[in-house]
Structure 1
Amino acid sequence: MFDVLGMISRGSEGLGTEGLQPGQVLARGVARHLASHGFATIEEFVPDRGLRVDVMALGAKGELWVVECKSSRADFMSDQKWQGYLPWCDRYFWAVDQEFDVDLLPEGTGLIIADGYDAEILRMGPEDKLAAARRNKLVRKFAFHAARRLHALRDPRLSGLLSVE
């Protein structure tokens, strides 16, 4: 039997935030928090050509959330693609740290405050349900990418052969 959790935990001593970029730190806290609410997450998921979301979350009922992690004002101001993510999710969120000026963030979007260890949803993103065909396509793509990433984790020699985009 393949024990992913055991494999991960054996290599996780000192699993701090060293070596992670600021956005990756936020994404990790977001992923942990959403997992505690029954979501599976993939970081740097490509829902469609030209788009790459920081965190895509899949709930037990098939709900799909996109979370964009912004580590600074400059990071947020340089984001020109975020509205293009809206057609690819049921709910959209920004994840920022507690120092971020949340008044910069657009109304009508969700808000998550995060750090490298956890997060809290302060404002639920409004729901705009995906069409069934798009949801089906995204859930299948999510599953495929998750399986490929797991395979690469299990056998790192294959990671170069297993493109996930």
Structure 2
Amino acid sequence: MTRLEPSLPAMPGQRLARGVGRLLRSMDHAVLTEFTPHRGLRVDVISLGPKGEFWIVECKSCRADFMQDRKWQGYVEWCDRYFWAVDCDFPSELLPADTGLICADAYGGEIQRMAPESRLAGARRSKVMRDFARASALRLQGLTDPDAFSAAAF
């Protein structure tokens, strides 16, 4: 049986998120893209590691994309480690030195600088875990039964 290559996402940030997802999956993390840990915040990638740790990765496709981002510091309090993902041509000196760095493309990535660990408090971890599980289950159900969402209003 031949495996079809999924089409590449159109947007550069989505391509980075795809490569980051592949990297994290190779590290035994479960990955979600476009996750909302808290009202008003939407992270590009969040992963749940094999020891229950949460990593957030923000994908920046260019200098302007990074310079316009005003919310990223609010994401740090919703994970154990925070990373930036950029392509190899991105001026990485713009990125804060006390955050992680991943160099990625649509096919994979490599951690260039490990993010410092800042463990989530128990209550916050519990909330993120529940929201992560719920988002994962709803997305899976949407893939296996797209019509289930039209029937949800019964």
TM-score interval (norm. to shorter): over 0.9
| Residue number in structure 1 paired with 2:94 | 104
CA RMSD of aligned residues (A): 1.7
Deviation at 1:158, TM superposition (A): 3.3
SS at match of 1:52: strand
Out of 19, 31, 36, which is 1:29 matched to? 19
Deviation at 1:131, TM superposition (A): 0.4
| Residue number in structure 1 paired with 2:142 | 152
SS at match of 1:47: strand
Cα distance in structure 1, aligned partners of 2:6 and 2:93: 32
Cα distance in structure 2, aligned partners of 1:160 and 1:36: 35
Cα distance in structure 2, aligned partners of 1:123 and 1:39: 18
CA distance 1:108–1:26, change in 2 (3 Å): same
Deviation at 1:107, TM superposition (A): 1.1
Structure 1: state its 5+ residue gaps: 1-8
Please give the per-residue CA displacement for 1:34-64, whole angstroms capped at 9, x wherever unaligned. Answer: 0000100100000000000000010111100
Letter in 2 for 1:15: P
The alignment of Structure 1 onto Structure 2 pairs a total of residues equal to: 152
Cα distance in structure 1, aligned partners of 2:25 and 2:67: 29
TM-score, reference length from structure 2: 0.93
Does 2:118 align with 1:128? yes
Please give the per-residue CA displacement for 1:96-117, whole angstroms capped at 9, x wherever unaligned. Answer: 0011110111110000000001
Out of 49, 55, 60, which is 1:59 matched to? 49
Does 2:4 align with 1:13? yes
List 4+ stretches of structure 1 deviating above 3 A.
158-162
- Identity among equivalent positions (%) equals 57
| Residue number in structure 2 paired with 1:80 | 70
CA distance 1:16–1:144, change in 2 (3 Å): same
Out of 12, 15, 28, which is 1:38 matched to? 28
Deviation at 1:14, TM superposition (A): 3.5
Cα distance in structure 2, aligned partners of 1:161 and 1:23: 33
SS at match of 1:54: strand
Deviation at 1:71, TM superposition (A): 0.3
